[in-house]
A and B are shown apart, each in its own frame.
Chain A
Amino acid sequence: MKVAVTAERADWDAPVDPRFGRAMAFVIVDTESRTLEMIDNAAGRDAVQGAGIQAATAICRAGAKALLTGHCGPKAFSALAAGGVTVYTGVTGTVAEAVDRLERGELAAAAASDVAGHWA
Chain B
Amino acid sequence: MIVAVASGKGGTGKTTVATSLALAAGREVRLLDCDVEEPNCHLFLETGPATVETVGLPVPVVDPELCNACGICGDVCQFNAIAVLPEGAMVFPTLCHGCGACTWLCPEGAIREETRPLGEVSTARVGSVELLTGRLTVGEALAPPVVREVRRRGDGAGLVIVDAPPGTSCPVMASLRGADVVLLVTEPTPFGLHDLTLAVEVVRRLGIPFGVVVNRAGCGDDRVQDYCRDEGIPILLEIPQDRRIAEAYARGRPLVEAFPEWRGPFAGLLEALARLARNGDQAPAGNVRVGGAP
Contacts and interface: CB of A to CB of B under 8 A. Distances in A.
Interface of A: 47-51, 53-54, 56-57, 60-61, 75, 78-79, 82-84, 119-120
Contact of A83 (B80, B86, B94, B95): B86
Contact of A49 (B79, B84, B85, B140): B79
Contact of A54 (B80, B87, B90, B94): B80
B81 interface: yes
Contacts of B82: 53
Interface residues of B, number: 17
Contacts of A83: 83, 85-87
Contacts of A60: 83, 85-86
A120 B80 contact: no
B260 interface: no
A48 B78 CA distance: 9
B244 to A, nearest CB: 42
A106 to B, nearest CB: 28
B259 interface: no
B92 interface: yes
24 contacts: A49-B79, A50-B79, A50-B80, A50-B92, A53-B82, A53-B83, A53-B95, A54-B80, A54-B83, A56-B83, A56-B85, A57-B74, A60-B86, A61-B86, A79-B83, A79-B85, A79-B90, A83-B83, A84-B86, A119-B94, A119-B95, A119-B141, A120-B139, A120-B141
Contacts of A79: 83, 85, 90
A16 to B, nearest CB: 23
A82 B80 contact: no
B3 to A, nearest CB: 32
Nearest to B85: A83
A47 B92 CA distance: 15
Interface of B: 74, 79-87, 90, 92, 94-95, 139-141
Nearest to A120: B94
A57 B95 CA distance: 16
A49 B95 contact: yes
A82 B92 contact: no
A48 B80 CA distance: 9
A82 B90 contact: yes
Contacts of A50: 79-81, 92, 95
A55 to B, nearest CB: 10
Contacts of B90: 78-79, 82
Contact of A82 (B81, B85, B95): B85
A75 B92 contact: yes
